[in-house]
Amino acid sequence: MDLMTALRTTAAIREFENREVSDETIYDLLETARFAPSGGNRQAWRVVVVKDEHQRALLGEAYRRGWYEYLAQGAAGLVPWASVTNREAEQEAIRHASAFEEAAKQGPGGMAEHLESSPVLMLLVADLRYLATVDRDLDRYTLVGGGSIYPFAWSVLLAARSVGLGGVLTTMVVKDEEELRGAFHLEQHHCIAGLMVLGYPKHQPTKLRRSLVESFATFDTLDGTAVSPR
Ligand SMILES: Cc1cc2nc3c(=O)[nH]c(=O)nc-3n(C[C@H](O)[C@H](O)[C@H](O)COP(=O)(O)O)c2cc1C
């Protein structure tokens, strides 16, 4: 598959065949993803491939705690955990998270409910000592640090696609970073950037819903003329 096609058609995959992914394959994905860019080429990513059942269960529980809160916020019309938001409305929405958990128990469940049985669970960790965070001292939410980690995650997903695998970068467990620290031997200078879930896809959707260039790109100023097709 050529690069343009891969970039335009690599969807989030959350349903997997009941088929094991070998350690060799996992190694090969990381062996390609290691060429991802990072600030100052510091490569502050660390990866923990989680096989242990107890650790997987911890991740599943943490994921679901966040997931039902996410659903509750979405149902209330909020952008879940937006860094600029109405915190009171958010808290009110989150109070209803247990209703979403109960509803999920009535059905077959999705990735969240079966997270621990996913073929591959990869905890993506950042070493804060090596993360160039240029916006660190600004009086606002910091964003730049993640830019040195998430391209790596995307490279894992693209590499996965090229060998018939699929997956998704998830972030729900990050909320429970402190509780997870001990189980994964994370030191204070480590933080969790996400949890990657990978496997052989049951389906491979290729038509992605994304906004048009005209809706997000302008000339000269943010409210300038839209960048439009030639
Ligand atoms: C930073 C980040 C965090 C995400 N967190 C989650 C998550 O916690 N759970 C999940 O199911 N998907 C998660 N996703 C996947 C997005 O939901 C997905 O990329 C988006 O909805 C587009 O889906 P599509 O490729 O199927 O169109 C995350 C993606 C990114 C980039």
Please report whether residue 225 resides in a domain.
no
Please report whether residue 186 resides in a domain.
yes
Determine the Cα–Cα distance for residues 157 and 219; give it in Å rounded to an integer. 31
Q: What is the number of other CB atoms lying within 10 angstroms of the CB of residue 218?
A: 13
Per-residue pLDDT tens listing for the chain (230 residues): 899 999 999 999 999 999 999 999 999 999 999 999 999 999 999 999 999 999 999 999 999 999 999 999 999 999 999 999 999 999 999 999 999 999 999 999 999 999 999 999 999 999 999 999 999 999 999 999 999 999 999 999 999 999 999 999 999 999 999 999 999 999 999 999 999 999 999 999 999 999 999 999 999 999 999 999 97
Contact 38/45 with Cβ under 8 angstroms?
yes
Q: What is the number of other CB atoms lying within 10 angstroms of the CB of residue 104?
A: 17
Cα–Cα nearest to 197, from 60, 34, 70, 81? 60
**Taken in order 109, 110, 115, 118, is the CA torsion positive or negative?**
positive
Per-residue pLDDT tens for 128-138?
A: 999 999 999 99
Ligand 1 neighbourhood includes 149 CB (under 6 angstroms): no
Please report whether residue 30 resides in a domain.
yes
Residue pointed to by tokens 């995650």:
153
Per-residue pLDDT tens for 58-105?
A: 999 999 999 999 999 999 999 999 999 999 999 999 999 999 999 999
Please report whether residue 103 resides in a domain.
yes
Please report whether residue 224 resides in a domain.
no
We report the CATH number of the domain holding residue 103 as 3.40.109.10
Residue 10: helix, strand or coil by DSSP?
coil
Determine the Cα–Cα distance for residues 10 and 128; give it in Å rounded to an integer. 29
Residue of 13, 171, 172 to mutate, ligand 1, most atoms within 8 A of C-beta: 171
Contact 33/152 with Cβ under 8 angstroms?
yes
Cα–Cα nearest to 120, from 185, 204, 33, 56? 56
As for how many domains the chain has, the answer is: 1
Please report whether residue 182 resides in a domain.
yes
* pLDDT reported for residue 167: 98
Distance from Cα 220 to the centre of ligand 1, integer Å: 30
Please report whether residue 228 resides in a domain.
no
- Atom 22 in ligand 1: residue holding the nearest Cα: 12
- Atom 25 in ligand 1: residue holding the nearest Cα: 11
Report how far apart, in Å, the C-alpha atoms of 65 and of each of 41, 82, 161, 198, 211 are.
35, 17, 29, 21, 30
Q: Residue ranges of the alpha helices (H) in 149-210?
A: 150-162, 177-181
The residue segments making up the domain with residue 87 are 3-215
Distance from Cα 112 to the centre of ligand 1, integer Å: 13
Determine the Cα–Cα distance for residues 140 and 14; give it in Å rounded to an integer. 33
